[in-house]
Structure 1
Amino acid sequence: MICLRQPWNVGKMTHRYFPTVVSDCVPKQSLVKQRTRYMLGGRVVSAKASRLFRSTPYRRYLKMIIRSMKCSLTLMILYLSVLISSGYALAEENQPNILVLNSYHQGEDWTDNEIAGIFSELLTQHPTMVPLVEALDTKRYPSPAHLDFLKDYLLRKYHDRRIDLIIALDNPALNLIAQNSTELFPDVPVVFAGINGFRPEMIADRKKITGVIERQDVAGTLKMALAMHPKVSRILAVHDYTASGLAVRQETETALAQFAGKLQISYSADVPFDTLSEELKKMPDNGLVLILTYVTDKAGHTFSREESTRLISSLSPVPVYAMHETRLGYGIMGGLLLEGKEHGRQAARLAYRILQGEDPDRIAVEESHSRSILDYQGLRRFLIPENLWPKDALVVNRPISFWSRHRNVLIPSIAAIIVLLGLSSMLLGTVVRLRRAKKTIHKSEE
């Protein structure tokens, strides 16, 4: 009997190949058979298989297979990387390049809302698209020299860049594109928006062009105002003398021609704001103010829409109306208001039709849509009774009642109280019936 307590080597076996020992002590005659079984990588193999695994040709063959597998795996990873990157590149190439020409500067509410509406509509169709936006800043720099600079700037910047479509926001951008049609992007389709005083001859020299007219419903706003202020007989229309301001005035004069002889309508002069403020303060009780557009004065001061609206409304002793929703909340009564985001979406829908292959020259020019909106604070300031409010008007800035603010808590609380009252009534009825029953029993026992 031989007892094997420690691993041991047999012949040419390395230290990794040990005999498989079923028990600590085995008979001597079975040791020869025991030596013919070896452990290789945790598996029991025969001596012949062990020699095969340890042979030099087999090792070379095994290494060659492993190297070929590594090379195949590396090539597969490289192929997938190239395929994915080329897919992304192809997707980027298929994205349309849209150039948005913003006539004004970033921070001007109307055009900011237009751009937001354009982006929201286009990104639903092309989620990875990033339109190019150029702010022309013509409100603060309206000189012809600045427009010449913009023309040269756009020519230099985009001379080797593919542009699939241009969206021109407001009059200065459209004028720049239309008046330089042979030099600035001559073969690129154009969609315009926010255009005041539109006339077909404005785009007569440009092909592949359509868009949305910014039509302020001045007549509709004035009719709504007269219904709430029946004693009004004098109107002051406030506007600046920029290209857009003059275009709006021209539209307003045409729209208000129907009120000739009924109302005394005047327009603000091209003066510094201090002079205009004195005119506003002297408005009579039977007067009314319409803000057409006012972002700059004779002295060159630039105002945001919020600032100009707040100043005009605070200085005017009479109601002030406007036609842009960006002026809401700054003192105006309301009006038939244009919404910048909806205006931008409307233009983006035309742009998408063109990108789908539709001929822009066959797409009719559209008009903007207005909505009747009133400011509750203005209505209360001038004590306008609710029965005079337009029935279809949206009233904003209305104080939130206690019920509206806490209805999510009040409704379940009231429901719980009603249920508890019902249960209490049932219990009370049960108690009353039990007492009556007891009295009846007592009487019967007597």
Structure 2
Amino acid sequence: MGLFRKIIYSFLLFLLISHIGLSSAFAVTGEHPVLIISSYNPDARQTSGNIYDFMEEFERLGGKAPIALENMNCKSFSEAPLWKNKMEELLAKYQGKRSPVLLVLIGQEAWTAYLSQADSIRGNVPVLAALASRNAIILPDDSVDLKTWMPDAVDFFHDFPNSSVKAGFVYEYDVEANINLIKKLYPKTRNIAFVSDNSYGGVSLQAHVVEEMKKHPELNLILLDGRTNTIYTISDKLHELPPNTALLLGTWRVDMYDGYFMRNATYTMMEAAGDVPTFSITSVGIGYWAVGGVIPSYRALGKDMAHQAVRLLQGPDSDRVEVEVIPNKIQMDSKIVKDKRLDLSSIHQPIEMVNETPSFYEQYKYHIWTVGTVLVVLLSGLFVSLYFYYHTKKLKDELQESESALREAKDRAEESSRLKSAFLANMSHEIRTPLNAIVGFSDVLASGGTSVDEQQGYVDIIKTNSDLLLRLINDILDVSRLEADRVTFTIEKCDVVPLCQQVLASVSQARKSENEFIFECDRESVDLRTDTQRLQQVIINLLSNADKFTRNGKITLKLEVDDEKRVATFSVSDTGTGIPLEKQKQVFERFEKLNEYVQGTGLGLSICKLTVEKWGGEIWVDSGYTDGARFVFTHPFEIEQPNK
């Protein structure tokens, strides 16, 4: 089976596990299936991957029994009393002709729900367990207050010697090894603060830690329990930890309100813990926070589970109990060890380091790949260019055979040259003016001999022309993107009345204008679905344009709404010089300026026209207005993303 098929299959399996509740994920096509009961905890992707590997390997090894998949849909520890009944219902569902030949338990919740059943309910069906810990707790009944309940830890091997569990893989969280590691690296430690969350894994791990810490009466145990805390109260308590305290991380996904948290929660704790030495018993925090820890060697177990399942169903030694304990390893963060200057010489076991300084290739492999890719692209471009060169030469030779075709090509070339020359002329004219000012006054400043006030004046001139040059480049880019349909609108609901008032105030203040700016609208609120930044850009361009051609006059921004047509109409009127009737259509052309002596790029109105048309509106000059100039544009109540 190909990799792509495997990925799709795993994804579909994950969706099934996530959404089917207690329904069967796979129809049982025959009698006596292999029954898989999954806990469905927040590690659903890991669970689905192991289930897929199990099913694929089981089929490859010749497993004949059909497979049924059930999901307990376990979440936080707050619903723990329900799990026992869920497991009992599932076991009762598969009785008689549907009784399973093998029961596969995946996850700690399914594991403990099974162990909490009476012997008569568990029956004699062989059990294979995985993704669980040998250290567990027995589920309480409904009368127990789960927030204050302190359960006793049980050990599968010691407390369930006659269990039907014949095979599987369990983790062993070694509290003793982690305490010894802490004492070796921080011998002054007097307190151990243990963090656990409001999940079954957190509560069972806390019970195991409480039991193991009885071996260390010299250490004070501080429990930071997610059943009675949120990430915020935990953070407050981390701030108040006494001196000589080491932090031991268990699990943190669910808080007292059943809210799910992932790595962002541990980052919040990390900020609160400050310089508190932090270790992990489950790998949580290793790689970015914890110094290290003795943790299980986590790995994919699906295929190994399939081998054990086939052995139980077919092998001559099917009665042999073969529950494998996943070995532990010491894992340390190389960067933190170096930063804190920790001496690891007292640790005589092998240490797996993370965050080590990579080799030159590992450190710069993306750069190397990038350079290699660029070289490949350049060579490819060279060959493509050569191909097109010879192809073009061939076409040219063919065109020379036809006088009419050659003349047509010549005309097109002349037209292209004319358009290019016109564009360059406009660009040269617009860019040269601010550049001349920048260069000229920079030379004056460099030559010295001027007073501080004069120097400040020259700096202001240079800054003004630099801003003008930057606006020109930005306007050219805007026009290019708009004409190439490469604009993406960020559409959101917006009340445009306060937006207009804010824009009006901003333009008045920014331009230090002597004109009076007025806003008119007969409504207190007008909601549109629009791209706020683009709408502001259009209004600002029109107001700035009006301000340039008006002296000591009035500039009015007016907003009118037509509910029947579902259109808002904006207008900007001024009492300035106005626009001749014959030139009113030309003002929207690129680089069109009616007065060459007025500062500006000649692109603002062109950008306005392109933007308004993109959202389905219209823009025009009101020819009936004679007190100056009035620009009007429309905006639908709701606009859609322009098609590219």
Name the counterpart of 1:338.
Answer: 296
Name the counterpart of 2:207.
Answer: 250
User: How far, CA to CA, are the matches of 2:62 and 2:288 in structure 1?
Assistant: 36
In structure 2, give the amino acid aligned to 1:125: L
Query: Structure 2 matches for 1:350-429, cutoff 5 A?
Result: 350-358=308-316, 361-384=319-342, 392-402=350-360, 404-405=362-363
User: How far, CA to CA, are the matches of 2:239 and 2:34 in structure 1?
Assistant: 47
Tell me the TM-score normalized by structure 2. 0.42
Name the counterpart of 1:105.
Answer: 41
Cα deviation, residue 372, structure 1: 1.5
Paired residues of 2:312 and 2:319 also in contact (CA < 8 A)? no
User: How far, CA to CA, are the matches of 1:148 and 1:103 in structure 2?
Assistant: 14
User: How far, CA to CA, are the matches of 1:199 and 1:311 in structure 2?
Assistant: 35
In structure 1, give the amino acid aligned to 2:39: S
In structure 2, give the amino acid aligned to 1:103: S
Higher-Rg structure is 1
1:125 maps to 2:46: no
- Cα gap change, 1:395/1:95 in structure 2, threshold over 3 Å: closer, same or farther? farther
Name the counterpart of 2:440.
Answer: none
- Cα gap change, 1:131/1:316 in structure 2, threshold over 3 Å: closer, same or farther? farther
User: How far, CA to CA, are the matches of 1:210 and 1:103 in structure 2?
Assistant: 18
Cα deviation, residue 342, structure 1: 5.3
Identical aligned residues as a percent: 20
Counterpart among 135, 139, 145 of residue 71 in structure 2: 135
Cα deviation, residue 180, structure 1: 5.7
User: How far, CA to CA, are the matches of 1:156 and 1:345 in structure 2?
Assistant: 27
Name the counterpart of 1:175.
Answer: 112
User: How far, CA to CA, are the matches of 2:64 and 2:113 in structure 1?
Assistant: 29
User: How far, CA to CA, are the matches of 1:256 and 1:345 in structure 2?
Assistant: 36
Name the counterpart of 1:29.
Answer: none
Name the counterpart of 1:323.
Answer: 281
User: How far, CA to CA, are the matches of 1:325 and 1:398 in structure 2?
Assistant: 17
1:266 maps to 2:222: yes
Tell me the TM-score normalized by structure 1. 0.57
Cα deviation, residue 216, structure 1: 0.4
Query: Structure 2 matches for 1:22-171, cutoff 5 A?
Result: 97-105=33-41, 107-108=43-44, 111=47, 115=51, 118=54, 122=58, 125-126=61-62, 132-140=68-76, 142-145=79-82, 147-149=84-86, 151-152=88-89, 155-156=92-93, 161=98, 163-171=100-108
- Write the deviation string for residues 177-235 of structure 1: whole angstroms up to 9, x where unpaired: 34165456x44310123132324586467546444442101211222233222332221
User: How far, CA to CA, are the matches of 2:175 and 2:352 in structure 1?
Assistant: 18
Name the counterpart of 1:289.
Answer: 247
Paired residues of 1:103 and 1:172 also in contact (CA < 8 A)? yes
* SS of residue matched to 2:250: strand
Cα deviation, residue 168, structure 1: 1.2
In structure 2, give the amino acid aligned to 1:245: G
In structure 2, give the amino acid aligned to 1:298: M
User: How far, CA to CA, are the matches of 2:100 and 2:285 in structure 1?
Assistant: 35
Name the counterpart of 2:190.
Answer: 233
- Cα gap change, 1:363/1:264 in structure 2, threshold over 3 Å: closer, same or farther? same
* SS of residue matched to 2:342: coil
Paired residues of 1:235 and 1:264 also in contact (CA < 8 A)? yes
In structure 1, give the amino acid aligned to 2:221: I
Paired residues of 2:83 and 2:109 also in contact (CA < 8 A)? no
Cα deviation, residue 275, structure 1: 1.9
Paired residues of 2:32 and 2:97 also in contact (CA < 8 A)? no
Count of residue pairs the alignment pairs up: 316
Cα deviation, residue 114, structure 1: 5.6
1:221 maps to 2:178: yes
Cα deviation, residue 393, structure 1: 0.8
Q: Which runs of 5+ in 1 are unaligned?
A: 1-91, 411-446
* SS of residue matched to 2:293: strand
User: How far, CA to CA, are the matches of 1:346 and 1:146 in structure 2?
Assistant: 27
Paired residues of 1:114 and 1:341 also in contact (CA < 8 A)? no
Cα deviation, residue 133, structure 1: 3.9
- Write the deviation string for residues 17-71 of structure 1: whole angstroms up to 9, x where unpaired: xxxxxxxxxxxxxxxxxxxxxxxxxxxxxxxxxxxxxxxxxxxxxxxxxxxxxxx
User: How far, CA to CA, are the matches of 1:159 and 1:322 in structure 2?
Assistant: 46
User: How far, CA to CA, are the matches of 2:45 and 2:291 in structure 1?
Assistant: 19
User: How far, CA to CA, are the matches of 1:388 and 1:154 in structure 2?
Assistant: 51
- Cα gap change, 1:168/1:146 in structure 2, threshold over 3 Å: closer, same or farther? closer
- Cα gap change, 1:307/1:192 in structure 2, threshold over 3 Å: closer, same or farther? farther
Q: Which runs of 5+ in 2 are unaligned?
A: 1-27, 137-154, 369-644
The root-mean-square deviation of aligned C-alpha atoms, in Å, is 4.1
User: How far, CA to CA, are the matches of 1:146 and 1:386 in structure 2?
Assistant: 44
User: How far, CA to CA, are the matches of 2:355 and 2:272 in structure 1?
Assistant: 21
